[in-house]
Amino acid sequence: MSAIIIDGKAVATKYYNEFSERVIKLKEKGIIPALAVIIAGEDPASLSYIRGKKKALANTGMESRVIEFPESVTEGELLSCINSLNTDNDIHGILVQLPLPPQINEGRIIEAINPLKDVDCFHPVNLGKLVQGEKCFYPGTPHGIVLLIREMGFPLSGSNAVIVGRSNIVGKPLALLLSQRENNATVTICHTGTKNLADHTRRADILIVAARSPGLVKGDMIKKGAVVIDVGVNRVPDSTAKKGYRIKGDVVFEEAVETAGWITPVPGGVGPMTIAMLIGNVLDAAEISLS
């Protein structure tokens, strides 16, 4: 029996409908939620991602401001831009598209953002609140993953959740979210130093793979009936494809679908939820600005 395919687009649409209603209420109070996006250079993947964000914001009645810098931008120029946005009452969220050019210290740039406008949840203040279980902006991809699992009705409490990948963007914050009392999962984080990876993944009721390694997890590494969330978005060369490459996940989908109970496709699974959760954070920030 094949796994149920988790449609991230459909779930995200439900949240967008809710967001649109909240935006109308804010506009009645004279507030138009707005996100400022800073990008340095012309990385095609980053530019594509930004286009997706702008479209999602516009579809929910929100605004965006994209500030583009050349690859040669200085740290001082970026800091000056962020300081200006921090004091701009028309901007409720600030997002710096990563990665930044090598001459820029990403940590300094992120720390310069007002935590109340840090809708990516990268600032140390927001990460610290996440660790302590305090109210803060949740990072988009981890939050989206948790909501996808809840949407299926799969019990998080008491489940063995195995995360493959320990990045600051997905793995670490996701482990914190899943282990909070409201979710109550038992979490294992696997990484490049993990021995016998399959021994861990086969124990997982919920398996999240965010390793940036195409085809890392095979079908025989998955517990029967498990929830499999594939976060990987890898460009794999393919001369038969129009663009010369295909997007592949970290999980061998064709094998996993025969073992898992539920699985996210790549693309169309986690990605739409990531953007939706970001939009939700901008909306939260706009509502906070009224208080």
Quick one: which of 123, 160, 157 has its CA closest to 139? 123
For residue 280, give both structure tokens: 């939700």
Residues noted as catalytic: 53, 97, 120
The pLDDT, as a whole number, for residue 178 is: 98
The pLDDT, as a whole number, for residue 48 is: 84
> What are phi and psi for residue 164, nearest 5 degrees?
-100, 105
The pLDDT, as a whole number, for residue 239 is: 87
Is there a cis peptide before residue 267, judged by omega within 30 degrees of 0?
Answer: yes
The pLDDT, as a whole number, for residue 113 is: 98
Residue by residue, what is the 3-state secondary structure of 236-290?
EECCCCCCCEEEECCECHHHHCCCCCEECCCCCCHHHHHHHHHHHHHHHHHHHCC
Task: Catalogue all structural domains in the chain, each as residue range(s) with its CATH number.
Answer: 30-114 (3.40.50.10860), 140-271 (3.40.50.720)
Alpha-helix residue ranges (DSSP H) falling in the chain: 8-28, 44-59, 75-86, 106-112, 124-132, 140-151, 171-179, 197-201, 253-256, 270-288
The pLDDT, as a whole number, for residue 1 is: 57
The tens-digit pLDDT sequence of the chain (291 residues) is 589 999 999 999 999 999 999 999 999 999 999 999 999 998 877 888 899 899 999 999 999 999 999 999 999 999 999 999 999 999 999 999 998 999 999 999 999 999 999 999 999 999 999 999 998 999 999 999 999 999 999 999 999 999 999 999 999 999 999 999 999 999 999 999 999 999 999 999 999 999 999 999 999 999 999 999 999 999 888 888 888 889 999 999 999 999 999 999 999 999 999 999 999 999 999 999 988
Q: Give the global pTM.
A: 0.94
Q: Which residue has the tokens 């994209």?
A: 66
CA distances from 126 to 53, 111, 132, 171 (A): 22, 10, 10, 16
